[in-house]
Structure 1
Amino acid sequence: MTGGGAAAPVDPSNRRQADSWDGPGGDFWTANADRFDEGVAAYRAPFRAAAAIGETAHVLDVGCGTGQTTRDAARAASSGSALGVDLSAGMVELARRRAEFEGVPNVSFEQADAQVHRFPDGAADIAISRHGAMFFGDPVAAFTNIGRALRPDGRLVLLTWQPFDQQEWLSSFVTVLADGGPVPVPPSDAPSPFALSDPGRVRGILDAAGFTDVQLDGVRESMYIGPDTEDALRFVAGQQAGMLDELGPGRRARALEALRADLDRHRGDRGVVYDSAAWLVRARRR
């Protein structure tokens, strides 16, 4: 497995993302790695089916986080390999530890900005990303670079969110926590969870980056937030700490009570769950 070392170069357009993912944002994800994986667990089987990784494949996992998808890929490519890259040193280190603990020998991880990292040309058969490819400052440059890492006719498979208004989980949280104020909708044309939510924009980016046969298929699954209301409240309050910090004490207390009530309304036999919707994006390098 790849060891540590100096952080790789970051493109200036990605500096703010790097400061977040290799800072407080990444720290929160690392500390809650299991919860994040559990949250999107319903997408795990559709994503693996779309990737259809063969036994001898060499896989690049972009924005791999703490590495669940990279380890899944390595197990499928039992006579091949899987490399996961992410901006977060903390998540990459946890990914390494988990791969070692789980006994996955053909996987490696690097802290890297996939927009500028010098991947070996044509070494990968497939590039994948589960909710990790929406944060590039220059997505055309990023996917062009990822394309260089693929062999000719190599495949790209992404899981990306559909538009904000299709995400009951996030739209509910930020509406409640806005406490009657403006709801902060993440942009769909700039680095954000929804930067690859518009099919036309996705096709335009991938076409400009040298991909063809772009296909988007919608998938709707439940998002798991927590086993009970209080646990879910702690998790969401931590995830949305920035919004809460902007409220005064009185508004903060009111917003948290409203969030608790909303989470409780979504509590059932499986715990607290909300609706969500994603795109499975498939393409080939020209």
Structure 2
Amino acid sequence: MSAASSTTRLSAPGLLRHAVLLATAALVLIPFVWMVSLSIKPPGEIFRTGFSFWPHQFYGFENYAKAMTEAPLPRYMLNGVIVCTLIVLLQILVCAPAAYALAKLDFPGRGLLFGMVLVALILPHEVLALPLFVLGYKLGILNTYAALIFPYVVSPFGIFLFRQFFKTIPDDVVHAARLDGLNELAIVWKVMLPMAVPAIIAFAIFSVVSHWNSLFWPLIAVRDQALMPPPLGIMAFRNEEAGNDYGPLMAAATIVVAPLVIAFLAAQTWFVEGMTGGAVK
């Protein structure tokens, strides 16, 4: 009897943790389940009292066909791919050398610079919207791909993440590379980055999800429908075509979200390794 009660006491914290995790997961997943459900329902069932995932009349083909044909959804998604890919590549190009300098080089002001990175981490990007808009106007890049890419080239989170990962790499590796005749930039590209693949994948997932779903800045920076990323394109689709026809709107949202879910599920192992790698040291 005592053994059974001891087992119960020991398992209670684990059960509580699982209950909290399941409740949190349900809160996160319910909107997505609802979105998919509405995307396959006819208009008459969307506002019916009571909820059932599967509709009485399947209307998925009509909703998804309308989402793909009445709005240039493939163009919006192509814009998202172009913008997110260029942002990630430029961010790695800028953030990796900066993180290496903060992690492995000793120079005056290193602590101050890292403190500025930490301060930049807590500043919401919306705070900089007005000066960035004015700067974009002065440079003449508004309503172009450059306007969607330029503000995100320097990522404080990317610098922080790569720095934490680079600090886990032994200094002997860097010293050996210098003895082999590599300069500091060559060490970054030929030694550090190949060893930081999990961190790169984790950062790329964060970056792509953030900018794929970004609405605030694209709403300010572009007006041409041919340049709109997916969230702004869906808003334009609602205003111009769908109106209150929520089935095609939810179908468009499902199509936009699906690539992110698939990419995360495919890379989740590297994502976890990249996010926890900096905590080793």
TM-score band (shorter)? Answer: under 0.3
Of structures 1 and 2, the larger Rg is shown by 2
The structure where helix makes up a greater share of residues is 2
Please, what TM-score do these two structures have when normalized by structure 1?
0.24
Which structure exhibits the higher relative contact order, with contacts defined as CA atoms closer than 8 Å and separated by 6 or more residues?
2
The structure where strand makes up a greater share of residues is 1
Please, what TM-score do these two structures have when normalized by structure 2?
0.25
